[in-house]
Structure 1
Amino acid sequence: MKSGTVAIIGKPNVGKSTILNAITGSKISIVSKHPATTRFRIIGVKTTDSYQIVFVDTPGIEKTRNRLGEIMQNNITAAIEDADIIVIVLDATHIDSEDERIIQQINTKIRNKKIIVALNKIDRVKPRTEVLSIIDRLTSHYNLKEIVPCSALTGENISEIERVIAENLSEGELIFPKDYTDTFPQTYKISEIIREKVFEHVYQEIPHSIAVEVEEIKPGDKNPDMVVITATIVVEKDNQKKIVIGKNGEKLKIIGSKARREIELMLGKKVYLQLRVKTIEKWRDRPDIFGRFGYGSI
């Protein structure tokens, strides 16, 4: 049996979470077309008869703007230090100086760990032969041995990334039980589903200042087979609160309806989801507040 931990790192919005979900075959991390969606060190587990891979999907590497951002970047450093294998995800359509800085930093600081590059979004590269040029450039400039061109969106070469990772695992016992796919409590999964739906509808107006706190999960009073969930969407300003709620509460209703359907699929039960919106000024600079949401502790 082989086993080991893998840190998935890279800039925001390069497809780290989509790759994790594609390899594990389940929705471990919420996915958005917008950058800086992931706030936790997301731990997903893929187990077969011959190996177990424990993935850590990290937030995007970027400059910090607040205390929460500092903790997120510290999580990346910790994930890299703890991992046996590092997977650097690059967007094949746009490799810039920040990507190069990340590669150089990992090459310089990391010793005795396997580095694999997942060259993502190749389905968007035209002409397709340009992918080979990118691989040649990365190989010659940075002495990278394992570069896997892939598309997390279409699934192309995702199995090859898994194969290369598994090939570089060491012999070892299972880290988690065979049936584990992630390490998260139910409240976290529910809050992330709601946050994803908020992102889908108000990201342009409120890019980073949204959090969700699940306050209560209980059986229904009249129908014990129904799950009643009370959750609060947290914003930083009162005008943001109005945006989330929408005219006559319509936007909040849409967010709640979409979140409820996905939560019902996850729980296998009917759900009554009660959402409210609350303003907490500068919550991202207040560890006492964002610690309540689990940020920095998972």
Structure 2
Amino acid sequence: MSTEDAHRSGFACFVGRPNAGKSTLTNSLVGTKVAITSSKPQTTRHAIRGILHRPDAQLIIVDTPGLHRPRTLLGRRLNDLVYETWSEVDVVGFCVPADQKIGPGDKFIVEELKKVARHTPVIGVITKTDLVGKQQVAAQLLAMQELMDFAELIPVSAKDAFQIDELANVLVGQLPEGPQLYPDGDITDEPESTLIAELIREAALEGVRDELPHSLAVTIEEMIPREGREDLIDVHAVIHVERNSQKAIVIGRGGERLRNVGSEARRQIQALLGSKIYLDLHVKIAKDWQRDPKQLGKLGF
């Protein structure tokens, strides 16, 4: 087998400010939903791995939280997770939305990436090109060129699938030669319980405002097949918030909001599991959990 025909395998990760389109891009490359998405910044809290299978390569994409100036212990731990991921991947994609000016947050990340670029290639990725015209994309490309010496620069749109295959080619081109790391058919190595908790959190995030998105965490207490029913799985989950006022918002008037959250989450979980589910949702207060090391540990951070 010649070097050009050799199979490649390895890890890539996308980094950028919160809400730069990293999770949507990950889902688009994998071809199915493995990471939750929301218009709320800092939606991603785990390094979710999505697996892209090709005849010539296996690309594992690690979706990381947005790098930000942390205000809580949770924020510091999420940033640590980003830095840890950078040190372990074969290629890094730095995401900047086409519709937003490059700001201090981007420049901060670039300064950190320059250290990484000494040993790991960094690709500049302009996301959300569907939101602007060609001139704005061209202007953003020029602005990115001034930031640092990227291994490659590529504009993409996950929504329109614009240059998604080309981005995959660019990332694969930076991977070492090697065998498959995961079996055919695997799209992620995350446990089902983690993915289900994330889908519930995604449903709960829609329509909330202010500080509440950061105060939401979800745990799966139990997930078991219903006795005597092969086609039904019982899922018992808890949505954790930090204060009484937040609990009232999540539950809504007469419990209506929580029912809507349950209905949307159930639809997504059934699609994930390929089975009917009964979803039992409760809301509990974990006071100031984002700042409490003990509670962070219990909630999986």
Out of 254, 260, 279, the residue aligned to residue 254 of structure 1 is: 260
1:291 is displaced (CA, Å) by: 2.4
Within 5 Å, which residues of 2 pair with 1:238-249? 238-249=244-255
What are the superposed Cα offsets for residues 180-209 of structure 1, whole Å, 9 maximum, x if unpaired?
Answer: 211111111111110000001324461210
Out of 162, 169, 173, the residue aligned to residue 167 of structure 1 is: 173
Other-structure match for 2:4: none
What are the superposed Cα offsets for residues 27-47 of structure 1, whole Å, 9 maximum, x if unpaired?
Answer: 110000110000011111112
Question: CA separation in 1, counterparts of 2:231 and 2:147?
Answer: 59
Out of 194, 201, 204, the residue aligned to residue 195 of structure 1 is: 201
Greater CA deviation, 99-108 or 155-164?
99-108
Greater CA deviation, 76-85 or 202-211?
202-211
Out of 85, 101, 109, the residue aligned to residue 108 of structure 2 is: 101
- Length-normalised TM-score, structure 2: 0.93
1:145 is displaced (CA, Å) by: 4.0
1:141 is displaced (CA, Å) by: 4.6
Other-structure match for 1:133: 139
The answer to whether the 8 A contact 1:7-1:56 is kept is yes
The answer to whether the 8 A contact 1:139-1:145 is kept is no
- Length-normalised TM-score, structure 1: 0.94
1:220–1:90: structure 2 CA closer, same or farther, 3 Å change rule?
Answer: same
Other-structure match for 1:7: 13
The answer to whether the 8 A contact 1:59-1:72 is kept is yes
Question: CA separation in 1, counterparts of 2:187 and 2:171?
Answer: 17
Other-structure match for 2:122: 115
1:170–1:187: structure 2 CA closer, same or farther, 3 Å change rule?
Answer: same
Other-structure match for 2:153: 147
1:140 is displaced (CA, Å) by: 4.3
Out of 241, 256, 261, the residue aligned to residue 235 of structure 1 is: 241
- One-letter identity of the residue aligned with 2:205: F
Does 1:124 pair with 2:159?
no
The answer to whether the 8 A contact 2:154-2:167 is kept is yes
* Structure 1 unpaired stretches of 5+: none
Question: CA separation in 2, counterparts of 1:273 and 1:201?
Answer: 21
- One-letter identity of the residue aligned with 1:39: R
1:109 is displaced (CA, Å) by: 4.2
Out of 250, 269, 273, the residue aligned to residue 267 of structure 1 is: 273
1:137 is displaced (CA, Å) by: 3.2
Question: CA separation in 2, counterparts of 1:175 and 1:221?
Answer: 36
Other-structure match for 1:84: 90
Tell me the SS of whatever aligns to 2:224. Answer: strand
1:42–1:136: structure 2 CA closer, same or farther, 3 Å change rule?
Answer: same
The answer to whether the 8 A contact 1:10-1:99 is kept is yes
The number of residue pairs the alignment matches comes to 294
After TM superposition, the runs of 4+ consecutive aligned structure 1 residues lying more than 4 A away are none
Tell me the SS of whatever aligns to 1:170. Answer: coil
Tell me the SS of whatever aligns to 2:34. Answer: coil
The answer to whether the 8 A contact 1:201-1:255 is kept is no
The answer to whether the 8 A contact 2:86-2:116 is kept is no
1:67 is displaced (CA, Å) by: 1.4
What are the superposed Cα offsets for residues 47-90 of structure 1, whole Å, 9 maximum, x if unpaired?
Answer: 21111111111100101121111111000100111111010011
Greater CA deviation, 210-219 or 200-209?
200-209
Question: CA separation in 2, counterparts of 1:145 and 1:267?
Answer: 39
Out of 74, 79, 95, the residue aligned to residue 68 of structure 1 is: 74
Does 1:213 pair with 2:235?
no
Other-structure match for 1:49: 55
1:284 is displaced (CA, Å) by: 1.3
Q: CA RMSD in A?
A: 1.5
The answer to whether the 8 A contact 2:107-2:147 is kept is no
Identity of aligned residues (%): 34
